[in-house]
Structure 1
Amino acid sequence: MSLLTGIGVCPGVAVGPLVRMAEPVPEPAAVSPEPVDRDAERARIRPAMEAVGTELRARAEKAEAETKAVLEATSYMAEDPGLLDLAESGVTDRGLTAARAVFEAANTFRDMLAAAGGYIGARVADIEDVRDRIVAAVLGIPVPGIPDPGHPFILAAHDLAPADTATVDPDKVLGFVTTEGGPTSHTAILARTLGVPAVVACPGALSLNEGTTVVLDGGLGTLDPAPNDAATLDAEKRMAARRGAQHVWRGEGATADGRRVLLLANVGDPASARAAADAGAEGVGLFRTEFLFLDASTEPTVAEQEASYAEVFGAFPRRKVVLRTLDAGADKPLAFLDQGEEPNPALGVRGLRVAFDRPDILDRQLVAAAGAAQRTSAEVWVMAPMIALPSEAAWFADRVRSHGLRAAGVMVEVPAAALCARQILDVADFASIGTNDLAQYTLAADRMAGPLAELNDPWQPALLRLIQLTGQAGAETGKSVGVCGEAASDPVLAVVLVGLGVVSLSMSARVISEVGELLKTVTFDECARLAGLALDAVDAQRAKARVREELPQLAELGL
């Protein structure tokens, strides 16, 4: 059988038996064979929804920061009053069973989300997972979850829901392969958090027989369904090398010839900041502040914000922490901020654009950040998301400096910002490239759309050219240019990014040591040469293959 190809989202090789995710909860019958006791059926709905919400919040408490935030948001879906009303009316008005009423009500919500498109449309899979969990609770049957065959395995699935990802045991799940999803899907985020090899958008993976021994290569993005003895032995050696590697970084990021590259972590709350510090991160390249705002019915006070920010800053004394101001809008609506309906939220009022209309919210956040900075010794930098124009960068920088904060930067996630990076860096102190959004806007491909996953591959030469433009602008102005998107979590791509002029990389804390170890084996000139190979490639797959062919040390590092 021929090699199956998808998109590698977490490097490393795994060999083992393939185990498929169980099928979802079956659709309840549209018509009940027995007369429906409407009062009894209606009374079953609320407790089932509350039970699911409680379970999801309990899983969130044990999850990593990014998965935790998604699970918490999903738990509120499970107890949504509108969903409850619609389901109960299905029983009362139409005589449906509780299970069928929940199923149809959730599908109505799902269809509304799908019609919205963009980030909001990407929540369709989440509400389908919530639907199945409530239906299972109503029927008193178990919800299919991560299988446990009693031995380590490679998991194959359509995609993984947030609640599933929170229960993964990395000692048992050797790797993931999904037929759907993309570089920013839940599966991809989880894999990078755990450091487990993963390939997404891989057609044919679910057609393989259960128990088939396969070799999964998260670096190349391939699944070998019939590996020969040599391929199996090579995979086993690389797995052993990776397992034996030190996963706590204790050095300073640098190339073989001493070019410094700061190795930073992406964090989303105080707990993830402490975990990143324990993992050896040299600082924080992206501190997402949304965790305080998303589930709040009223805006968090300055005192509440300051206390939380100080916890994060305190985890990195005398080290760099880059705080991103509120990235609201699109898939992150705020209960206390009515932004109305937008035809395309991903291209609407999000990020800094919210502050143009409500600068008071930004000002309170900057007051809190300045107060927290004074309480700690961290080197606090502040940046804004969704900046497109030099004038926007100047407006933000003036506001940041007026609050006594030392460094005002921009997120480069809109192609216009990369194309005008020289002018933006004339007024801003630094730039940080968000490759997830920059890819989707450059390739006109929703980053959560499975069929378009290949376009959102961070190895796309068009995306790399925009990164190169930004890196060149940084060199010309003497300003720092970093990457805080998922691209920085790929050690091989990290080498290319350094060659494009990036001076700091911010990633999941789990992969910092792998990025650092690979960077130590290449000089800056080699990084630049490899970047040239990637830029000249005709597509993402060949860009990745060309660079990997030039790095024989990957096998020794288990990558």
Structure 2
Amino acid sequence: MSEALLTGIGVSAGIAAGPLLRIAAAPALPAPLPVTDAEAEITRAEAALAEVVAELGRRADRASDDTVAEVLRAEALMADDEELREGVREQVEAGHDAPHAIDGAFAAFREVFAAAGGYLAERVADLDDLRDRAVAVLLGLPMPGVPAPGHPYILAARDLAPADTADLDPGQVIGLVTEAGGPTSHTAILARALGLPAVVACPGVLAVPDGTFVLLDGASGRVETGVDEAGAKAAATSAARVAAAAPALTGPGRTSDGYEVKLLANVGSVKNVRAADEAHAEGIGLFRTELLFLDRAREPAHDEQVTAYREVFAAMAGRRVVIRTLDAGADKPLPFLNQDGEPNPALGVRGLRVARQRPAVLTTQLAAIAEARSLTGADVWVMAPMVSTPAEAAEFAAAVHDAGLPRAGVMIEVPAAALRAADLLRVVDFLSIGTNDLSQYTFAADRMCGDLADLLDPWQPALLQLIGVCGEAGRAAGKPVGVCGEAAADPALAPVLVGLGVTSLSMSPRAIPAVRASLAAHTGADCRRLAELAVAAPDAAEARKSVR
């Protein structure tokens, strides 16, 4: 095959080189059979779903990574849903045999999830996987697994479900690339958890013949096909050598001339703290509290929230913990908020805006955070997502202080907030830049749209310019400005962000060693010079090239 370049969204940094192999297709549905005993068909279908739930539970139990186990259990809950079983019963009663009833019930759920967009749309792959597994059980067939050729390779698929990735052998699977998916798909989450270079939303990858040698860059989203094997292997080996050497460097994040940059971890629960400790994180820069709220018909009670927050605060033993209040809406719809019907959820009631309609949700959460802090003595900073104006920031800061919490901050996710960063810092104590959302709102490009991956590149000069506005405001006010989006995990971009005035970087724990090593290789003056080059570039590709 002649050399060609495919482009997707890089979701897990690293370079891999090897032959591309595709995951096998799922079992095909047989011809429909007449239903003579509806109850028997319902029993068969429900037994198949129960077996899928049990198998996912077994995989979760033997998973070596807490994030993988958590995702598998979440998928099992979807298969154990009462509404799904009711849909299967209705399908059988309409005359469909068990396999087709399973297929029909999942198809109905799939349509709803796909129409919802965002987070739910990215769960479509999970629904497809559950349907395929249940059908395979009914047909007495094994589910096609991940290839095991006995040598290293890069795995390609339309999308990957958690069960596909849970048992990956990192000695063989050295990288992942999918045609569908997005930055918050389970492929992305699990690739980062497993430390595998990964690219999602890469059109055309399934047209690449099995066995074609490819070079995959999980930071830039580039997949080069038909490349020179020796050169590609050399590039991957060099990147691996740098990555392997990075963990040897420990201690606080700093440039070679001693400028301190706090290196923090993004976590969703106490289960992630161990990985943060192993990476020598200086604290938590993003504690995502919405994971406690997902798939709940009612919001978690005060005491339940206190327990969840206290576990993380205590585990961090006095280190900084930046906790984000509920980030719901758009790609993370929550059932108890009843937000159906918004014409454009990404531009609707999400993040802090939920407090406009349901102020008690924020009040309860702040009270629970305050109580957990008082029980642990932790250094807790609280920030709100989706803040657009100084007035919103001031109102949130007042609520935080009224709850007895000392430090209030806001996330910079929309251009309006970035442009008024100096005004925001007059009423809050710190800023944290969410580069994923700031990219999509700056470029009017949905984060889940693979066709717009080039606009979502964190190296885009316009995005970097907005970060620079925030950094300069932080310097003038003498207040911290951090980055907690995926851009923080790119070792090559880290010096640029520091040069723009960023004082902390928060990322997946696995990314911390490489970022620490990158900063240690540059002086503060280097960082400022690289930042100037990147912002002055005409586009993301040239920005990356000029810096590297």
> How would you bin the TM-score normalised by the shorter chain?
over 0.9
1:289-313 deviations in Å (ceiling 9; x for gaps): 1232224444333232222212111
Q: Offset at 1:135?
A: 2.1
1:362 aligned partner, one-letter code: L
Which position in structure 2 is the counterpart of 1:327? 327
How far apart, CA to CA, are the structure 1 residues paired with 2:468 and 2:414? 14
1:351 aligns with 2:351: yes
How far apart, CA to CA, are the structure 1 residues paired with 2:524 and 2:243? 28
How far apart, CA to CA, are the structure 2 residues paired with 1:391 and 1:66? 37
Any gaps of 5 or more consecutive residues in structure 2? Answer: none
My pick for the range that moved more, 402-411 or 161-170, is: 161-170
How far apart, CA to CA, are the structure 1 residues paired with 2:546 and 2:12? 18
SS at match of 1:84: helix
Any gaps of 5 or more consecutive residues in structure 1? Answer: 549-559
1:105-158 deviations in Å (ceiling 9; x for gaps): 221222223233344333333322222222223223222332222222211222
SS at match of 1:24: coil
Within-5 A mapping of 1:154-553: 154-228=154-228, 230-232=230-232, 234-235=234-235, 237-238=237-238, 240-242=240-242, 244-247=244-247, 250-548=250-548
My pick for the range that moved more, 118-127 or 17-26, is: 118-127
Asked if the contact 1:59–1:166 (Cα under 8 Å) also holds between the matched residues in 2, the reply is yes
Asked if the contact 1:65–1:267 (Cα under 8 Å) also holds between the matched residues in 2, the reply is no
How far apart, CA to CA, are the structure 2 residues paired with 1:331 and 1:59? 27
How far apart, CA to CA, are the structure 2 residues paired with 1:129 and 1:135? 10
How far apart, CA to CA, are the structure 1 residues paired with 2:307 and 2:42? 44
My pick for the range that moved more, 288-297 or 375-384, is: 288-297
Supply the RMSD in Å over aligned alpha carbons. 2.4
How far apart, CA to CA, are the structure 2 residues paired with 1:186 and 1:352? 25
Residues 295 and 110 of structure 1: CA distance in aligned 2, closer, same or farther (over 3 Å): closer
How far apart, CA to CA, are the structure 2 residues paired with 1:434 and 1:293? 20
2:474 aligned partner, one-letter code: G
Asked if the contact 2:215–2:232 (Cα under 8 Å) also holds between the matched residues in 1, the reply is yes
How far apart, CA to CA, are the structure 2 residues paired with 1:60 and 1:412? 36
Q: Offset at 1:498?
A: 1.2
Q: Offset at 1:56?
A: 3.4
My pick for the range that moved more, 293-302 or 156-165, is: 293-302
Which position in structure 1 is the counterpart of 2:13? 11
TM-score of the superposed pair, with normalisation by structure 2: 0.92
2:142 aligned partner, one-letter code: P
SS at match of 2:41: helix
My pick for the range that moved more, 249-258 or 216-225, is: 216-225
How far apart, CA to CA, are the structure 1 residues paired with 2:353 and 2:48? 40
Residues 325 and 57 of structure 1: CA distance in aligned 2, closer, same or farther (over 3 Å): farther
Residues 311 and 339 of structure 1: CA distance in aligned 2, closer, same or farther (over 3 Å): same
Which position in structure 2 is the counterpart of 1:79? 80
SS at match of 1:210: coil
Asked if the contact 2:65–2:194 (Cα under 8 Å) also holds between the matched residues in 1, the reply is no
SS at match of 1:216: strand
Q: Offset at 1:478?
A: 1.5
Which position in structure 1 is the counterpart of 2:92? 91
Asked if the contact 1:78–1:134 (Cα under 8 Å) also holds between the matched residues in 2, the reply is no
1:98 aligned partner, one-letter code: A
How far apart, CA to CA, are the structure 2 residues paired with 1:212 and 1:333? 40
How far apart, CA to CA, are the structure 2 residues paired with 1:532 and 1:219? 21
Q: Offset at 1:352?
A: 1.3
Q: Offset at 1:340?
A: 4.4
Asked if the contact 1:12–1:242 (Cα under 8 Å) also holds between the matched residues in 2, the reply is no
2:146 aligned partner, one-letter code: I
How far apart, CA to CA, are the structure 2 residues paired with 1:57 and 1:411? 36
1:513-554 deviations in Å (ceiling 9; x for gaps): 000001111122222222222223333233223322xxxxxx
Residues 454 and 100 of structure 1: CA distance in aligned 2, closer, same or farther (over 3 Å): farther
Asked if the contact 2:202–2:450 (Cα under 8 Å) also holds between the matched residues in 1, the reply is no
How far apart, CA to CA, are the structure 2 residues paired with 1:35 and 1:293? 41
Which position in structure 2 is the counterpart of 1:555? none
Q: Offset at 1:454?
A: 2.8
Residues 28 and 264 of structure 1: CA distance in aligned 2, closer, same or farther (over 3 Å): farther
How far apart, CA to CA, are the structure 1 residues paired with 2:49 and 2:248? 41
How far apart, CA to CA, are the structure 2 residues paired with 1:490 and 1:64? 22
Asked if the contact 1:494–1:515 (Cα under 8 Å) also holds between the matched residues in 2, the reply is yes
Residues 218 and 408 of structure 1: CA distance in aligned 2, closer, same or farther (over 3 Å): same
How far apart, CA to CA, are the structure 2 residues paired with 1:500 and 1:174? 34
My pick for the range that moved more, 425-434 or 111-120, is: 111-120
Which position in structure 2 is the counterpart of 1:104? 104
2:41 aligned partner, one-letter code: E
Of 20, 28, 36, 1:26 maps to: 28
How far apart, CA to CA, are the structure 2 residues paired with 1:505 and 1:159? 30
Residues 186 and 451 of structure 1: CA distance in aligned 2, closer, same or farther (over 3 Å): farther
How far apart, CA to CA, are the structure 1 residues paired with 2:248 and 2:192? 15
Asked if the contact 1:114–1:121 (Cα under 8 Å) also holds between the matched residues in 2, the reply is yes
1:138 aligned partner, one-letter code: L
Give the length in aligned residue pairs: 545
How far apart, CA to CA, are the structure 1 residues paired with 2:474 and 2:256? 22
Residues 21 and 289 of structure 1: CA distance in aligned 2, closer, same or farther (over 3 Å): same
How far apart, CA to CA, are the structure 1 residues paired with 2:129 and 2:88? 16
**Identical columns (%):** 55
